[in-house]
Structure 1
Amino acid sequence: MTKLECIVKAMDDKLATNIVAIDMREASPIFDTFVLATASNARLLHAIKDSVEDALAENGYEVKGIEGLRDSKWILIDCGDIVCHIFENDERDAYNLEKLWSDMPRLDVASMID
Structure 2
Amino acid sequence: MKTKAKKFKQIETVDKVQLVAEWLDEKQANEIAAVDVQGICPIAEVVMVAGAKGMRHAQALADFVLKRLAEENIEYLGMEGYKAGEWILLDLNDIIVHIFQDENRGFYNVEGLWSEGTRMELNITPQE
Relative to the length of structure 1, the TM-score reads: 0.91
The aligned amino acid for 2:23 is A
Relative to the length of structure 2, the TM-score reads: 0.82
Counterparts of 2:91 and 2:27 in 1: how far apart (Å)? 19
Number of residue pairs matched by the alignment: 112
The aligned amino acid for 2:71 is E
The aligned amino acid for 2:113 is L
Superposition pairs for residues 47-86 of structure 1, below 5 Å? 47-86=60-99
Does 2:5 correspond to 1:15?
no
Q: Larger C-alpha radius of gyration, 1 or 2? A: 2
The aligned amino acid for 1:42 is M
User: Which consecutive residues of structure 2, in runs of 5 or more, have no partner in the other structure?
Assistant: 1-10
Say what the alpha-carbon RMSD is for the aligned residues. Answer: 1.3
Q: Are the equivalent residues in 2 in contact too, given 1:6–1:55 (CA < 8 A)? A: no
Per-residue Cα deviation, 1:69-97 (whole angstroms, up to 9, x for no partner): 11230000000000000000121111011
Query: How much identity, in percent, do the aligned residues show?
Result: 36
User: Which consecutive residues of structure 1, in runs of 5 or more, have no partner in the other structure?
Assistant: none
Does 2:51 correspond to 1:35?
no
Counterparts of 2:96 and 2:111 in 1: how far apart (Å)? 14
